[in-house]
Amino acid sequence: MTTVASVSEETESSPYALSHLDALESEAVHIFREVAGEFERPVILFSGGKDSIVMLHLALKAFAPAAVPFTLLHVDTGHNFPEVLDYRDRTVERHGLRLHVASVQDYIDRGVLKERPDGTRNPLQTLPLTEKIQSERFDAVFGGGRRDEEKARAKERVFSLRDEFSQWDPRRQRPELWNLYNGRHAPGEHVRVFPLSNWTELDVWQYIAREGIELPEIYFAHEREVFQRSNMWLTAGEWGGPKDGETVEKRLVRYRTVGDMSCTGAVDSDATTLDAVINEIAASRLTERGATRADDKMSEAAMEDRKREGYF
Amino acid sequence: MTSTTEPTEPLSVEQLSATTLLRFATAGSVDDGKSTLVGRLLHDSKSILTDQLEAVEHASRNRGQDTPDLALLTDGLRAEREQGITIDVAYRYFATARRRFILADTPGHVQYTRNMVTGASTADLAVVLVDARNGVIEQTRRHAAVAALLRVPHVVLAVNKMDLVGYEESVFAAIAEEFTAYASELGVPEITAIPISALAGDNVVEPSANMDWYGGPTVLEHLETVPVSHDLAHCHARLPVQYVIRPQTAEHPDYRGYAGQIAAGSLRVGQEITVLPSGRTSTISGIDLLGEPVDIAWTPQSVTVLLKDDIDISRGDLIVPSKDAPATTQDVEATVCHVADEALTVGHRVLLKHGTRTVKAIVKDIPSRLTLDDLSLHPHPGRLVANDIGRVKIRTAEPLPVDSYADSRRTGAFILIDPSDGTTLTAGMVGESFAAPQPVKDESDDDGWDF
Q: Is A256 exposed, middle or buried (0-12, 13-18, 19+ CB in 10 A)?
A: buried
Task: Rounding to the nearest 10 degrees, give the CA dihedral for residues A101, A107, A108, A112.
Answer: -170
CB-CB neighbors (< 8 A) of A198 in chain B: 91, 93, 102
Encode chain B (451 residues) as per-residue pLDDT tens digits: 333 334 445 455 555 556 899 999 998 766 778 878 888 888 777 776 666 677 777 777 777 776 666 666 665 566 665 655 556 788 888 888 889 999 998 876 656 788 899 999 999 999 999 999 999 998 899 899 999 999 999 999 999 999 999 999 999 999 999 999 999 999 998 999 999 999 888 999 999 999 999 999 999 999 999 988 666 666 899 999 999 999 999 999 999 999 999 999 999 999 999 999 999 999 999 999 998 999 999 999 999 999 999 999 999 999 999 999 999 999 999 999 999 999 999 999 999 999 999 999 999 999 999 988 888 899 999 999 999 999 999 999 999 999 999 999 999 999 999 999 999 999 999 998 776 544 444 444 444 333 3
In a domain, residue A151? The reply is: yes
Provide the pLDDT for residue A10. 40
Domain span at residue B358? 329-430
Mark whether A133 and A230 lie in a shared domain. no
Nearest to residue A97, comparing CAs of A121, A131, A74, A130? A74
Mark whether B101 and B23 lie in a shared domain. yes
pLDDT digits (tens, 9 = 90+) for A96-117: 999 999 999 999 999 999 988 8
Mark whether B312 and B336 lie in a shared domain. no
Angle subtended at Cα A12 by Cα A8 and Cα A17, rounded to the nearest 5 degrees: 40
Mark whether A162 and A55 lie in a shared domain. yes
Provide the pLDDT for residue B16. 53
Q: Is A23 on the interface with B (CB under 8 A)?
A: yes
CATH code assigned at B109: 3.40.50.300
Q: Confidence band (pLDDT; 50, 70, 90) for A30?
A: very high
Q: Judge contact between B315 and B344, C-beta under 8 A.
A: no
Nearest Cα of chain A lies from the Cα of B49 at a distance, in angstroms, of 5
Note the pTM of the prediction, 2 decimals.
Answer: 0.89
CB-CB neighbors (< 8 A) of B18 in chain A: 8-9, 19
State the Cα–Cα distance between residues B139 and A247, nearest whole angstrom: 60
Mark whether A140 and A258 lie in a shared domain. no
What mean pLDDT do residues A75-103 have? 93
B160: β partners? B131
In a domain, residue A69? The reply is: yes
In a domain, residue B262? The reply is: yes
Here the contacts of A168-175 (C-beta below 8 Å, separation 24 or greater) are: A168/A192, A168/A307, A168/A308, A168/A309, A168/A310, A169/A308, A170/A304, A170/A308, A170/B77, A170/B79, A170/B87, A170/B88, A173/B88, A174/B422, A174/B423, A174/B424, A175/B114, A175/B115, A175/B117, A175/B118, A175/B339, A175/B424, A175/B427
State the Cα–Cα distance between residues B371 and B417, nearest whole angstrom: 24
> Considering CB atoms only, which of B17, B100, B245 is closest to A210?
B17
Q: Judge contact between A28 and A52, C-beta under 8 A.
A: no
Read off the DSSP letter of residue B189. S
Interface confidence, given as ipTM, is 0.89
Mark whether B311 and B335 lie in a shared domain. no
B288, amino acid identity: D
Nearest Cα of chain B lies from the Cα of A261 at a distance, in angstroms, of 22
CATH code assigned at A114: 3.40.50.620
In a domain, residue B129? The reply is: yes
CB atoms within 10 A of CB B125: 23
Nearest to residue B147, comparing CAs of B426, B434, B340? B434
In a domain, residue A207? The reply is: no
Domain span at residue A247? 217-297
A141: β partners? A43, A192
**Element containing residue B363 per DSSP (H, E):** strand B357-371
In a domain, residue B439? The reply is: no
State the Cα–Cα distance between residues B188 and B417, nearest whole angstrom: 29
What mean pLDDT do residues A7-25 have? 69
Mark whether A240 and A163 lie in a shared domain. no
Provide the pLDDT for residue B74. 60
Read off the DSSP letter of residue B21. E
For residue A104, the SS3 value is helix
Measured between alpha carbons, how far is residue B164 from residues A98, B3, B200 in Å?
A: 64, 16, 11
Nearest to residue B205, comparing CAs of B331, B43, B358, B319? B43
Question: How many structural domains compose chain A?
Answer: 2
CATH code assigned at B243: 2.40.30.10
Mark whether B38 and B171 lie in a shared domain. yes
Nearest to residue B179, comparing CAs of B193, B168, B169? B193
Main-chain phi, psi angles of B423, to 5 degrees: -60, 140
In a domain, residue B181? The reply is: yes
Here the contacts of A127-130 (C-beta below 8 Å, separation 24 or greater) are: A128/A75, A128/A102, A128/A103, A128/A104, A129/A45, A129/A73, A129/A75, A129/A102, A129/A166, A129/A310, A129/A311, A129/A312, A130/A165, A130/A166, A130/A310
Mark whether B109 and B74 lie in a shared domain. yes
**Element containing residue B393 per DSSP (H, E):** strand B389-400
- Interface touch B229/A290, C-beta < 8 Å: no
Q: Confidence band (pLDDT; 50, 70, 90) for A1?
A: very low
From B307, B324, B341, give the residue that closes a domain.
B324
> Considering CB atoms only, which of A25, A63, A185 is closest to B245?
A63
State the Cα–Cα distance between residues A224 and A236, nearest whole angstrom: 9
State the Cα–Cα distance between residues B434 and A303, nearest whole angstrom: 42
The DSSP-derived string for B409-436 is: TTTTEEEEE-TTT--EEEEEEES-SSSS
Q: Is A153 on the interface with B (CB under 8 A)?
A: yes
Cα dihedral sign for B61, B64, B70, B74? negative
- Percent helix, strand and coil across chain B, each to the nearest 5: 20, 35, 45
**Element containing residue A253 per DSSP (H, E):** strand A249-255
Q: Confidence band (pLDDT; 50, 70, 90) for A4?
A: very low
The terminus-to-terminus CA distance of chain A in angstroms comes to 44
Q: In this complex, how many residue pairs, one in chain A and one in chain B, have their CB atoms less than 8 Å apart? A: 239
- Interface touch B229/A17, C-beta < 8 Å: yes
Angle subtended at Cα A158 by Cα A154 and Cα A161, rounded to the nearest 5 degrees: 100
Read off the DSSP letter of residue A256. S
Mark whether A133 and A239 lie in a shared domain. no
Q: Judge contact between B430 and B394, C-beta under 8 A.
A: no
Cis peptide preceding B277, ω within 30 of 0 = yes
Query: How many CA atoms lie less than 13 Å away from A246 in the CB half-sphere?
Result: 17
State the Cα–Cα distance between residues B138 and B215, nearest whole angstrom: 29
In a domain, residue B277? The reply is: yes
Minimum CA–CA partner of B251 in chain A: A65
Mark whether B126 and B39 lie in a shared domain. yes
pLDDT digits (tens, 9 = 90+) for A226-268: 888 877 888 877 666 788 788 888 999 999 888 777 778 888 8
Minimum CA–CA partner of A63 in chain B: B245
- Interface touch A179/B16, C-beta < 8 Å: no
Main-chain phi, psi angles of B59, to 5 degrees: -65, -35
Mark whether A164 and A233 lie in a shared domain. no
In a domain, residue B436? The reply is: no
From B282, B305, B324, give the residue that closes a domain.
B324
In a domain, residue B437? The reply is: no
Mark whether A65 and A190 lie in a shared domain. yes
Mark whether A136 and A179 lie in a shared domain. yes
B65, amino acid identity: Q
Provide the pLDDT for residue B43. 77
State the Cα–Cα distance between residues A304 and A45, nearest whole angstrom: 19
In a domain, residue A174? The reply is: yes
In a domain, residue A232? The reply is: yes
Mark whether B320 and B353 lie in a shared domain. no
From B179, B212, B228, give the residue that closes a domain.
B228
In a domain, residue B1? The reply is: no
Q: Confidence band (pLDDT; 50, 70, 90) for A292?
A: low
Provide the pLDDT for residue A192. 96
Mark whether A155 and A227 lie in a shared domain. no
CB-CB neighbors (< 8 A) of A23 in chain B: 20-21, 300
Read off the DSSP letter of residue A226. E
pLDDT digits (tens, 9 = 90+) for A113-132: 998 887 778 888 899 999 99
Q: Is B109 exposed, middle or buried (0-12, 13-18, 19+ CB in 10 A)?
A: middle
The DSSP-derived string for B24-55 is: EEEEE-GGGTHHHHHHHHHHHTT-S-HHHHHH
Mark whether B152 and B110 lie in a shared domain. yes
Mark whether A26 and A162 lie in a shared domain. yes
Q: A156-176 b/e with 16+ CB inside 10 Å = b?
A: bbbbbbbeeebebebeebbbb
Residues 154 through 213 of chain A touching chain B, CB cutoff 8 Å: 154-155, 161, 170, 173-180, 182, 184-186, 197-198, 200, 202-203, 206, 209-210
Residue of A95 and A79 predicted with greater confidence:
A95
What stretches of B118-200 adopt beta strand conformation (E)?
125-131, 154-160, 190-195
Provide the pLDDT for residue B110. 58
Question: How many structural domains compose chain B?
Answer: 3
Mark whether B269 and B401 lie in a shared domain. no
B186: β partners? none
Mark whether A132 and A171 lie in a shared domain. yes
Mark whether A53 and A188 lie in a shared domain. yes
Provide the pLDDT for residue B13. 53
> Considering CB atoms only, which of A23, A30, A173 is closest to B21?
A23
Q: Judge contact between B42 and B5, C-beta under 8 A.
A: no
Mark whether B333 and B319 lie in a shared domain. no
The DSSP-derived string for B247-294 is: --SSSSSS--EEEEE--BSEEETT-EEEEETTTEEEEEEEEEETTEEE
Helices (H), B164-271: 169-185, 219-225
Q: Is A65 on the interface with B (CB under 8 A)?
A: yes
In a domain, residue A6? The reply is: no
Q: Judge contact between B133 and B164, C-beta under 8 A.
A: yes
- Percent helix, strand and coil across chain A, each to the nearest 5: 40, 20, 45
